[in-house]
Amino acid sequence: MRDDDLHPDELPVDAATVAALLADQAPHLAALPVRPLRALGTVNRVFRLGADLAVRIPRQVAGGADVAREAAVVPLVARVLMPAVPEVELVGTPSDLLPVAWSVVRWVEGEPAAAGAVPGADLAETVLALRSLDPSALPDAGRATAAAADTAVRDAIDLLTGLDRGRVGAAWDAALEAPRWNGVRVPIHADLLPPNLVLRRGRLAGVLDWGAAGAGDPANDLVPAWSCLRGEERTRFRASLPGTEGEWARAKGIALAQAVVAIPYYAATNPAFAALCRATLTEVLAEG
């Protein structure tokens, strides 16, 4: 693995690869400077392209499916969201240079959000605006159910260090008891984590990475209560969204599962993301 690889099966992509892809499929952009960016995201490599664009390259072959999904979903959500979204300028096709689809998107100006710095009311307004879309126009989306994630979560709990594994296990047992989703599809982003939120002057200015978005269990978009928000901002978020107790319970389980699995997986390759997930897990456990 290279120093910046996060997964054992990463596609070998660097700035030279991006330049070659542009020369081959987007020659009108090939003269723009390409600069790799270091980010907390785990699915794509991102390269700044000139002043106004970015190139997103899936890190793994499986991530290629997200490119088409994002290109289909972003035009829909852009109509209803106040925060900016990375409008897709071009979708590159698989080739000898890269065996997966890739994209060029508009750059969203601002600072990546830190956990605890996101305005809860802004995020709630975004979730509500997203829910105004017609779910029938969106693909299925959402994370694995608690039952489906059970084995992966329990295996990851055994690898945790510096945490009370018994307490984490008990919290996961409680999450498995949450009411199941009734199957009514609701428009969701499905990955509202700090790396996908952009702030400007303390307000939510952008929502990135729509590769997992679509329609599914609304509990998925309640997860930022623990991954993004703290104290009064979490209270504002929860008060602004009409979630049932069952939805909030499922959301807590999703937050726990995502954090627990990511902590040991990214401990060495992406310690900043692992730390973010550890903080999320701490917030979940603090609520009992």
Residue 110, sorted as left (phi over 0), alpha (psi -120 to 50) or beta, turns out to be left
pLDDT at residue 230, as a whole number: 96
Q: How far apart are CA 18 and CA 25, in angstroms?
A: 10
Instruction: Considering the chain, tell me which residue range(s) the CATH 3.90.1200.10 domain(s) occupy.
Output: 120-286
> For residue 243, what pLDDT is reported?
86
In the chain, list all ranges with CATH 3.30.200.20. Answer: 15-108
What superfamily does domain 120-286 belong to in CATH? Aminoglycoside phosphotransferase (APH), C-terminal lobe (3.90.1200.10)
80-110 per-residue burial string, b: 16 or more CB within 10 A, e: under 16: ebebbbbebbbbbeeeeebebbbbbbebbeb
Cα angle vertex 190, ends 186, 196, to 5°?
135
Architecture of the CATH domain 15-108: 2-Layer Sandwich (3.30)
Any long-range contacts for 28-36 (C-beta under 8 Å, 24+ apart)?
A: 29/53, 29/90, 29/104
pLDDT tens for the chain, residues 1 to 288:
677 888 899 999 999 999 999 999 999 999 999 999 987 789 999 999 999 999 999 999 988 889 999 999 999 999 999 999 999 999 999 999 999 999 999 999 999 999 999 999 999 999 999 999 999 999 999 888 888 999 999 999 999 999 999 999 999 999 999 999 999 999 999 999 999 999 999 999 999 999 999 999 999 999 999 999 999 999 999 999 988 999 999 999 999 999 999 999 999 999 999 999 999 999 999 987
